[in-house]
Structure 1
Amino acid sequence: MKLGYARVSTEEQSLDLQRSALRKAGCTEIFEDHGISGSSFRRPGLESALNALSPGDTFIVWKLDRLGRSLLNLVEVINDFAQRDIAFKSLTESIDTDSPGGRLIFHMMAALAEFERSLISERTRAGMQEAKKQGRHLGRPFALSQDQQDAVRYDILVLNKSTSEVAKSMNVHPRTITRLMERDTEVAITQNS
């Protein structure tokens, strides 16, 4: 069975062109989302379409960006289709995972998505390292204010109080105190190297 999916981003846009192309491609049923952005994969029409698919079916869109805008998400969805024995076809881009050429195009898209994922990860790690070098805090905000952190350092380093004792007085978990002291040690090592 051939199932189609059509989507427009705004209420003013029409689905007529997509419906016509999907009917011409042989779709027996067309699922729609009207006025919903392609950046989200949580769409009622799309979810209904994905749930209606069975092994051996073909899922057809008029254009690839009707399914989604993120290459990474598109690759995940199309990989899911392959695992469920569902063919995918995009009419405008001539992608058809039932044909060798269509599978080649899809594999090239998957390779590009993996490359994009690697670049994002690499840039993120580099940015985090640079932020650490500049002494910026990464992650969620500290549980203790700067004055409280100074008091913790004084209690532990000068008064030789235990971590659990200081944690109790500050009304935080002992791990919070341990992390603060570990971070201080890391900063000292980084500054001395």
Structure 2
Amino acid sequence: MATTHHNLVGLARVSTDTQDLQLQLDALTDAGCGRIFQEKVSTRSKDRPGLAAALDYLRPEAGDTLCVWKLDRLGRSVKDVLTIAEDLHEHGIGVRILTGTLAGSYHPTGEGKFFFTMMAAFAELERHMIHQRTMAGLQAARAQGRLGGRPTVMDADTLAAAQARRAKGQTPTQIAKALGVSRATIYRHLTDESA
């Protein structure tokens, strides 16, 4: 692992408003981060404004490295961390982890490349396992006479009611509201019928 840190860009993250970023901010400042992005993001939110801003700011040509206090601050799940690590690798951005089991600096070249290679391997393994579980679940459902996929909201009776309302001159918005389905569903099914 290289000890040169080039230009460190920090990312501090907590999951709730009651948690404090100060410990992470102090550690990132002490590590020499010239710029630190912050976010307070619920574990259920997919929106990561601090991470997005940091990734936009990072410049591979300048040798920038994304710095986090601990690996779990990079992502909320193994899948998140793997996806972010793959993205950093593809863009030639290094990552530095200040504390924890994987503390160190990793760059997409040299010795640090092993870290990214392992992350990519874990990501591939996780995708394969998810695919296998999905296929097994679908096969089990078919064996019980069920089909996979999202259930339709437009059964034959609902479609007949929609067609009758359309024939009476009701708009798709009125039909959707009356039947308790989305306008897009009405448009899709009525267009399919007329085609």
> Does TM, normalized by the shorter one, top 0.5?
yes
**1:82-97 to 2 correspondence within 5 Å?**
82-92=89-99, 93-97=102-106
Structure 1 residue 30: Cα displacement: 0.7
**1:1-193 to 2 correspondence within 5 Å?**
1-34=7-40, 36-38=41-43, 40-55=45-60, 56-92=63-99, 93-98=102-107, 100-142=110-152, 143-145=154-156, 173=192
Structure 1 residue 124: Cα displacement: 0.8
Structure 2 unpaired stretches of 5+: 1-6, 160-188
Name the larger-Rg structure: 1
Paired residue secondary structure (2:76) = coil
Kept in 1: contact 2:13–2:38 (CA 8 A): yes
Deviates more, 1:37-46 or 1:89-98: 37-46
Q: Distance in 1 between matches of 2:11 and 2:36?
A: 5
Paired residue secondary structure (1:139) = coil
Structure 1 residue 74: Cα displacement: 2.0
Q: Distance in 1 between matches of 2:76 and 2:85?
A: 13
Matched to 1:37, the amino acid is S
Structure 1 unpaired stretches of 5+: 149-169, 175-193
Paired residue secondary structure (2:18) = coil
| TM-score of the two chains, using structure 1 as the length reference | 0.68
Kept in 2: contact 1:95–1:106 (CA 8 A): no
Q: Distance in 2 between matches of 1:39 and 1:111?
A: 26
Change (3 A) 1:114 1:95: farther
Structure 1 residue 171: Cα displacement: 6.5
Instruction: Report how many residues are paired.
Output: 155
Identity %: 44
Structure 1 residue 126: Cα displacement: 0.9
Structure 1 residue 106: Cα displacement: 3.3
Matched to 1:111, the amino acid is A
Q: Distance in 1 between matches of 2:82 and 2:190?
A: 47
Structure 1 residue 113: Cα displacement: 2.2
Deviation >4 Å, runs of 4+: 38-41
Kindly provide the CA deviation profile for residues 124-167 of structure 1, in whole angstroms up to 9, marking residues without a partner as x: 10110110111113223344348x9xxxxxxxxxxxxxxxxxxx
Kept in 2: contact 1:87–1:96 (CA 8 A): yes
Q: Distance in 1 between matches of 2:79 and 2:124?
A: 8
Q: CA RMSD in A?
A: 3.0
Q: Distance in 1 between matches of 2:50 and 2:82?
A: 19
